[in-house]
Amino acid sequence: MKSMFTVFIVEDEQLIRDGMLKLVEWQQLGFEVVGQAADGELAWPMIQELQPDIVITDIRMPFMDGLSLSRIIKQHYPKTKIIILSGYDEFEYAQKAINIGVEHYVLKPITKAQLTDLLVRIREEKVKMVEQEASLALLHQEAFNQKRRLFFEQLLIDSREVLDLIEQANHLKLDLLKDHYKLLLIMIQPKDPGFLADFSWKIIERIRGEMIEKLTTIPGLFEYKSSNELTVFLLAADEEIQERAFEAEFKILSFFEQEYDDLVFLIGTTNSFNRLSEVSEYYNIGRNRLLEQWWRIKTNQINYSYNPPRINSVLKIEKQGEIVRELRAIETHKETFSHGKKLGEELDHELDFLSFEKIPVEWTDSKVLTDFILDGRIEDIPSFIERILSDVSETQWQSQAFVQYMFLSSYMALQVFIQALDRDLNKDLDQAIKLPVAFEQEPSKQLLESYLEEALGNVLVAHRQKTKSRYYNVIKEASAYIYEHFGDVDLRLNDIADSVNISPAHFTTIFSQETGKTVTEFITEVRMGEARILLRTTNQTHYEIALAVGYRDVSYFSRLFKRHHNVSPGKYRKGVI
């Protein structure tokens, strides 16, 4: 918030200018007079340079009068407040001044009390305007950040057309069109399970916040927190930047380990890949590999000799069919498989621990689960579970670590769906998909089937209640398109229908059925809502606001506004409602 508002005085009589400087205690009122001029022609270049908050100007002056100066100020700096000083015989200019957008028209001579009262009111108006603009800017930024989060969430769970990805990325000011991509996955867990019951997650969340703050300063690195357990970064850059980025990441994580030796830090990095459309495929491989590693640690299949500040485990995840290989560990950190071979001794040896590479592809692909929730039925849940578990062998079911891995993998897939497609469901469904306590002590196929049946049923029902229709995503995407383009005076029904790949006739039918409004009614509501904001938070003319919300004809805009709000734009701006 500004501590001082600036004032510029324009008056052709030096004596009056000097008198105004002494008339009130400017600084005590929160103002600073930054300049003065004898006429509008001399004042304009100085105003351009100083950009004062308030201009006090006489109405009659040589070369350029107060009205002409006010008009040009409002054209270039609509937020500048203008006070016009006028004699009694010049009052016919008042209407012209109001039409220009001048806020205050005062008859000379102005007294100390009048000027003080006027300045106090203007200061209150300016403070309120600054607060409104800050609040509005925050809302716009939050909406923009939300769109970015949704974009990355969709990028992780669904393969999409590259042109669509690039177009959305450009719209969100994301420079993602690069030659190389890489994913970094980070998991932070308490070493001691009992520690979890206290305050470990608060610490972990704080660590993750610091880590994200430091890492996202690296050019081309974009963060997305997919769940409480996992943080994902996408690096879109050239090879040299990638190497520098991962060096920085290791240093940062080493620092965190040195500070918090009760926690386990796991890092998974994918190989470089060249197609943005492959992000979801690499994410699924990396996520499942990292979960496997964590459960091997948790079930003592890997023994740790903890020695801060070294990283507990750094995995490089390589896409080679269904086989995932361990490629490196950090320096001399001790990691030992249960059969006694040190991690790193056989980097090219394909892992065969519990046949994790033989887990059905459907199980490791969260899109399979997402597709079922979107299109499946409650009565289909048992057969769906049977199908995705059909390729798991009896030997695998006998392994506690394997079954625990399956539990956590299913839980995280459900989390991805809730956060990516139905963020509002997250709060309601946290408990509904919570893992049963017994999955750590007595994991079994029967318990997993029971958990999946209940969790899938809860999510399916909640999603159906929220969407109520198979056209939910169509309406959601079309509404988003309208919100992005409502200011286009040439916005057409065909454009909106094309954005969701539906014929205009079919689109108008389903839009009306699903929303209870016509497309035109919805667009008008959006435009009127934006107009209300502009009327209350800017000094733009009615014509400028009409154009900003998609109307060339200001008279038509005014009639629509009054029809929707039962008050004219002018009265609404004055606070009638």
Q: What do you get for the CA distance between the two ends of the chain, in Å?
A: 27
Instruction: Kindly report the number of other CB atoms within 10 A of residue 361's CB atom.
Output: 12
In three-state secondary structure terms, 187 is strand
Short-list 373, 236, 289, CA closest to 281: 289
| pLDDT reported for residue 418 | 67
105 vs 460: CA distance, rounded Å? 63
Q: Which class is 5-131 in CATH?
A: alpha beta
297 vs 337: CA distance, rounded Å? 10
411 vs 402: CA distance, rounded Å? 14
228 vs 203: CA distance, rounded Å? 12
| pLDDT reported for residue 506 | 84
**Which two structure tokens, joined as six digits, stand for 334?**
């001790």
Short-list 95, 105, 103, CA closest to 129: 103
In the beta sheet, which residues pair with residue 19?
none
Element (H, E) at 236: strand 230-237
The domain locations on the chain are 5-131, 172-346, 359-467, 472-573
Instruction: Kindly report the number of other CB atoms within 10 A of residue 196's CB atom.
Output: 12
83 vs 11: CA distance, rounded Å? 12
Residues of the chain short of pLDDT 70, as ranges, are 1-3, 88-95, 98-99, 157-163, 165, 191-201, 224-229, 238-261, 296, 298-367, 370, 401, 415-431, 437, 439-441, 464-470, 537, 575-577
395 vs 116: CA distance, rounded Å? 87
Confirm if 253 and 267 have CB atoms less than 8 A apart: yes
With residues binned 3-state (H G I as helix, E B as strand, rest as coil), the percentages for the chain, rounded to 5, are 60, 15, 30
414 vs 425: CA distance, rounded Å? 11
Element (H, E) at 125: helix 112-157
Short-list 55, 64, 16, CA closest to 33: 55
| pLDDT reported for residue 307 | 34
91 vs 199: CA distance, rounded Å? 71
**Cα separation values, 259 from 97, 228, 252, Å:** 65, 21, 11
CA 389 to chain centre: 36
270 vs 359: CA distance, rounded Å? 19
Fold of 472-573: Arc Repressor Mutant, subunit A (1.10.10)
445 vs 435: CA distance, rounded Å? 14
- Residues in the chain, overall count: 577
Short-list 226, 356, 224, 361, CA closest to 281: 361
Confirm if 408 and 295 have CB atoms less than 8 A apart: yes
**Cα separation values, 128 from 77, 306, 571, Å:** 18, 56, 19
Residue corresponding to tokens 């229709």:
469
From the options 3.40.50.620, 3.10.180.10, 3.30.70.270, 3.40.50.150, give the CATH code of 172-346.
Answer: 3.30.70.270
Q: What are phi and psi of 287, to 5 degrees?
A: -60, -50
Confirm if 59 and 90 have CB atoms less than 8 A apart: yes
**Cα separation values, 185 from 177, 226, 245, 323, 360, Å:** 21, 10, 14, 18, 22
Confirm if 35 and 42 have CB atoms less than 8 A apart: no
